[in-house]
Structure formats: C-alpha cells, structure tokens
C-alpha cells in the first residue's frame, strides 16, 4: 500500500468528517483487514498498517491540521505515528518549522525559542541644577554582563560546539499528555535553546557572558529635570549565548539648589528687601544660572509676596528652543537693629503719617471698625 494514498481515502470518509465518524470508519476497516482475520495475506496486513497510520494522524487535531495544510510532506521524514514528533524525538526537528507556523500562537511560539534579548538596566544619576541648566558629559561606571571574549558569547569552549538537544530533539520545548490536555513546557535540559553545549567555556562556565565593570560616557542635555530618562541603546545586559544586549536607562535626579526652586522651565527665588526700598523703589541684581546678573526693577510701594518676572532667564527647554522665566518673590523685611538716629527719623515719619500712605492697612482697620460697631450696637 503506497504511503502517498490520501488518509481520508484510506478511511473512506470525507475531509470534513468529525471525530465520531473517523472512529467508526477506523474500527470498521481495522476489523475487516486485521491480520488475525486474514492470516497469511500480506496485502491485508499492509492495508491494516496504513489504516492505523491514517487514523493515528487524523484523530490528533494538531497532526490533522498539519496534514490538511501540507499533506504527507508534513510527516515525510518523521512519520505521524511516531511519538517523538511531538515529544522531542528525531521526527520533530524535521517538521518543526511547519508546526511552528500552524501552532506557534497557540503554544507561545511552537518552535525553538528565539534567543532572549538581554535585560534592560537602570542607573540613577544625580546632578546639580547648574549641570541641568548647561548640560554635561558625565562618565559613569557600572557592573554589567558582557559577552564572554574567549568563547565569543557562545558558552562553548573554543574549538568545540553544540549539539542538538536529545530531550526535545532541537525543538526547545517538550509536551506531555495530562488527561485530555497536551501540556507544553520549556525543555529542562537545553532551557529552550534546542541545543546543548558539549564542553562549557571555562571562563563563563557555559553562560556566554561575564560580569565586568564598564565605563560609559553619558551626555546630559541642557534642560533635563528630575525624572528625565536618557536611553543608551545596547548598553544593558548582554543577551544569553550571543543574543542582542538590552538597553541602559539613565534616570536623572536634580539636587536642590541653595537659591532657586524649579517648576518646569521656570526658576523661582525669594528676595528680601528693606522696607525703605519697598517704599521708595529701587533696583536689585540677581545672579542667574546662565552666569549673567539680571537687573530687577523694584517699583515703589511694592508689598511682600509680590512676584516680579524676568522673561527668558529661566531653564532651557529640553530638546527645544528658548528658555523659561525667572520669577522673583519679594519679601519686605522689617529692620531689627536700628541706631538712635534711625529711630528718630522713623518717629518723625510716623508723626507725619495720615493713613493714606498704606491703603491696605487703612482698609483693614476700616473693616475692623465697622465690625466692632456692629458688635456694640
């Protein structure tokens, strides 16, 4: 009986036949061509074997799907009846690509696991507000796994290689029947590679990578803030057995400044002034992070809490153009140490006050007076 005869024709069923129809047809034909009922008949024996082969394939949903799509080519080198085709034997390595195409999504990849990319790493970098303003090139040193040089990341001793895993047949996964379910898991021998190392490298002990310190140059651009991430592509952990490396993420933390606080691109500071400057007005100079001295005009009669804004004197816009603003909050300071002459002058000023000089105070006391009169009526 030719192995190329269609399995459905062998079982005398339609291609749309359900499981019950397949089972009934198989039992009928198996009983008809069983060697015990046809002793000495070689043709019946061959037909019986072919029927078993066909039913063994079509009763399995996975094998049947492969056969419906690829026909006998799906099993030409492995044979549908061999348990090794689905449990790590020789047959599966020959048809692995076919079943990966059909069942890859359902079983998380189906075929041999792809080499895992190396892990991403994090490095916390603390810089000053001045460095955040101007930008800076910073050299950092990290302990990171890199490909082993003696074995070039393969994990095998130089001069040796790898062989196909005997447990999974190069598939990277093994399957086991548990009741009505087929359970698939990563091969415990090769850990999903499909290959095992014959002689592990003595430098990395078969890992393909080793931990070693590495110095890196990090370009911190102007305008960074706490929480800014700088990505260094390919500077993370090396992937196992020559897989691509991960990335290194630099998390920026900006230290507090002794003079300025920051809100995005806005710089803020509090400036104390004397009450005479507040009354008469004047000018003060504020040193900026840009190295320049910014002249701030104080209008006469300014009050504590008033904010003055200097355009373009704030932080640079990250990866953009322009700068934020510098905001100065005025704090009117009352003198605590006065000379006799200064006290005398203040008394003279006090004697000339009419209440019109401080409209906020006058308004407050007027409201207080009205409230008091309301209570005494």
Residue positions in the annotated binding site for Zn(2+)? 148, 151, 165, 168, 187, 190, 201, 204
261 within 8 A of 254, measured Cβ to Cβ = no
Residue the block writes with tokens 């895992």: 116
* DSSP secondary structure code for residue 196 in this structure: E
Cβ atoms within 10 Å, residue 307: 10
Cβ atoms within 10 Å, residue 184: 17
- Bridge partner list, 184: 175
182-188: long-range contacts at Cβ-Cβ below 8 A with a sequence spacing of 24 or more?
Answer: 182/62, 182/86, 184/107, 184/108, 186/113, 187/88
Residue the block writes with tokens 């397949």: 22
Token code pair at residue 101: 């195409």
User: Could you write out the DSSP letters of every residue in 318-342?
Assistant: TTSS-B--EEEEEEEEPPS---HHH
Residue the block writes with tokens 């809100």: 263
**d(Cα 221, Cα 26) in Å, to the nearest integer?**
74
Token code pair at residue 176: 């086991």
142 within 8 A of 270, measured Cβ to Cβ = no
- Bridge partner list, 323: 316
Helix, strand, coil percentages (3-state) for the chain, rounded to 5, are: 30, 25, 45
**SS3 of 289, please?**
coil
3-state SS of 191-247 is CCCCEEECCECCCCCCCCEEEEEEEEEEEECCCCCCCCEEEECCCCCCCHHHCCCCC
87 within 8 A of 93, measured Cβ to Cβ = no
171 within 8 A of 196, measured Cβ to Cβ = no
Known binding positions:
148, 151, 165, 168, 187, 190, 201, 204
- Bridge partner list, 196: 163
């Amino acid at each position: 009986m030719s192995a190329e005869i269609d399995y459905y024709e062998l079982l005398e069923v339609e291609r749309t036949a359900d499981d019950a129809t397949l089972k009934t047809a198989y039992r009928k034909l198996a009983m008809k061509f069983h060697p015990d009922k046809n002793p000495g008949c070689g043709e019946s024996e061959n037909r019986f074997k072919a029927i078993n082969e066909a039913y063994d394939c079509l009763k399995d949903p996975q094998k049947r799907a492969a056969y419906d799509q690829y026909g006998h080519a799906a099993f030409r080198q492995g044979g549908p009846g061999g348990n090794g085709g689905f449990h790590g034997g020789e047959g599966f390595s020959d048809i692995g690509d076919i079943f990966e195409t059909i069942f890859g999504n359902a079983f998380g990849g189906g075929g041999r696991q792809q080499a895992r990319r190396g892990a991403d790493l994090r490095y916390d970098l603390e810089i000053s507000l001045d460095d955040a303003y101007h930008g800076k090139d910073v050299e950092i040193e990290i302990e990171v796994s890199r490909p082993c040089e003696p074995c070039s990341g393969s994990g095998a001793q130089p001069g040796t290689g790898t062989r196909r895993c005997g447990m999974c047949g190069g598939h990277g996964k093994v399957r086991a029947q548990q009741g009505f379910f087929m359970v698939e898991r990563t091969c415990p021998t090769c850990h999903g590679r499909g290959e095992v190392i014959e002689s592990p490298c003595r430098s990395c002990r078969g890992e393909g990578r080793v931990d070693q310190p590495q110095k890196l140059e990090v370009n911190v651009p102007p305008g960074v803030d706490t929480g800014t991430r700088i990505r260094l592509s390919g500077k993370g952990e090396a992937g196992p057995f020559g897989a691509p490396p991960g990335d290194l993420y630099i998390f920026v933390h900006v230290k507090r400044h002794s003079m300025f606080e920051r809100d995005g691109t806005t710089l803020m500071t509090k400036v104390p002034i004397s009450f005479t400057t507040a009354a008469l007005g004047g000018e003060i100079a504020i040193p900026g992070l840009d190295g320049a001295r910014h002249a701030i005009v104080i209008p006469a009669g300014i009050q504590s809490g008033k904010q003055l804004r200097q355009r373009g004197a704030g932080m640079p816009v990250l990866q953009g153009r322009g700068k934020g603003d510098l905001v100065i909050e005025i704090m009117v300071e009352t003198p605590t140490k006065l000379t006799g002459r200064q006290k005398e002058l203040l008394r003279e000023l006090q004697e000339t006050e009419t209440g019109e000089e401080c409209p906020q105070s006058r308004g407050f006391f007027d409201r207080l007076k009205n409230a008091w009169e309301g209570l005494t009526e």
